[in-house]
C-alpha cells in the first residue's frame, strides 16, 4: 500500500542526523584554554583559527607548556565522527531536495543536491586539515594547513547557507 508520506526517507535520515548531532556535541571539548572573542564552541573556533600561535594557545601551549593531549584526543575523535555527520547531513539535504524536485517539478532544487555534495566533500577535507594540524601542533609547522583550512571552511559553510536560502 502506497502512503502519502513523500519525505519519509529524508525524515528517517533527519532523525539519525539529530541523534548523531547530539552525540557529536558530547564528544567535542566544551572548554579550551583560549578562544577568540565571539566564539562559544571550541570546534567552531578551531575551524576558523588563523595563526599557529592562536592554535597553540587554544590547545594550552603557553609559556613553553606542551599541548593538552586529552584536548587533542577529544578534538580528533570529534572530527573523525564528523565524517559520518557530514555524510548524514548531506544525505538529508540531498534526499529532501530530490523529493522537492519530484513533487514540485522545480529543477532549481537540484542546486541543493549539488550543494549537499559540495558541503560533504569540503567538510571531509576540512576534517583532514584539522586532524593534520593537531598531529603537528607541537612543531608549529602547519601555517599552510591553516591557510587552506579557512578556504575549505568557508566553502562548506557557504554551500550549506546557500542551500538554506534556496530551500
C-alpha 125: how far from its chain's center? 10
Q: What is the pLDDT of residues 80-116, one digit of tens each?
A: 999 999 999 999 999 999 999 999 999 999 999 999 9
Beta strands in 76-127 (DSSP E): none
Please compute the mean of the pLDDT values over residues 133-157 and round it to a whole number: 96
- Give yes or no for a contact between 52 and 146, defined as CB atoms under 8 angstroms apart: yes
Domain residue ranges of the chain, discontinuous segments joined by +: 8-166
Cell of 52: 599557529
Q: How far apart are CA 160 and CA 154, in angstroms?
A: 10
CA angle 81, 85, 87 (to 5 degrees): 120
Tell me the mean pLDDT in the region 9-19: 97
Question: Across the chain, how many H-helices and E-strands are there?
Answer: 6, 0
Check residue 64 and give its pLDDT.
77
State the pLDDT confidence band at 3, using cuts at 50, 70 and 90: low
Q: Is the pLDDT of residue 1 over 60?
A: no
Can you tell me whether residue 133 is helix, strand or coil?
Answer: helix
CA dist 29 and 103 (Å) reads: 42
Question: Is the distance from CB of 20 to CB of 78 less than 8 angstroms?
Answer: no
Could you read off the pLDDT of 21-80 as tens digits, one per residue?
999 999 999 999 999 999 999 999 999 999 999 999 999 998 778 888 999 999 999 999
Q: What is the 3-state secondary structure (H, E, C) of 71-103?
A: HHHHHHHHHHHHHHHHHHHHHHHHHHHHHHHHH
Contact between 142 and 51 under an 8 Å Cβ cutoff? The reply is no
Q: What would the mean pLDDT of 124-143 be, rounded to a whole number?
A: 96
Instruction: Give the separation between CA 32 and CA 54, rounded to whole angstroms.
Output: 12
pLDDT (0 to 100) of residue 2 = 59
pTM above 0.85, yes or no: yes
Amino acid at each position: 500500500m502506497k502512503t502519502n508520506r513523500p519525505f519519509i526517507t529524508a525524515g528517517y535520515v533527519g532523525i539519525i542526523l539529530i541523534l548523531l548531532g547530539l552525540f557529536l556535541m558530547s564528544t567535542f571539548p566544551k572548554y579550551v584554554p583560549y578562544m577568540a572573542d565571539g566564539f562559544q564552541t571550541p570546534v567552531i573556533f578551531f575551524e576558523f583559527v588563523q595563526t599557529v600561535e592562536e592554535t597553540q594557545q587554544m590547545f594550552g601551549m603557553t609559556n613553553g607548556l606542551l599541548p593538552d593531549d586529552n584536548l587533542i584526543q577529544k578534538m580528533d575523535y570529534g572530527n573523525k565522527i564528523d565524517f559520518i555527520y557530514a555524510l548524514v547531513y548531506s544525505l538529508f539535504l540531498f534526499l529532501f531536495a530530490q523529493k522537492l524536485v519530484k513533487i514540485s517539478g522545480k529543477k532549481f532544487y537540484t542546486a541543493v543536491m549539488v550543494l549537499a555534495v559540495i558541503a560533504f566533500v569540503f567538510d571531509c577535507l576540512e576534517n583532514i586539515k584539522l586532524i593534520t594540524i593537531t598531529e603537528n601542533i607541537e612543531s608549529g609547522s602547519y601555517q599552510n594547513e591553516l591557510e587552506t583550512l579557512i578556504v575549505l571552511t568557508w566553502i562548506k559553510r557557504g554551500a550549506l547557507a546557500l542551500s538554506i536560502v534556496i530551500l
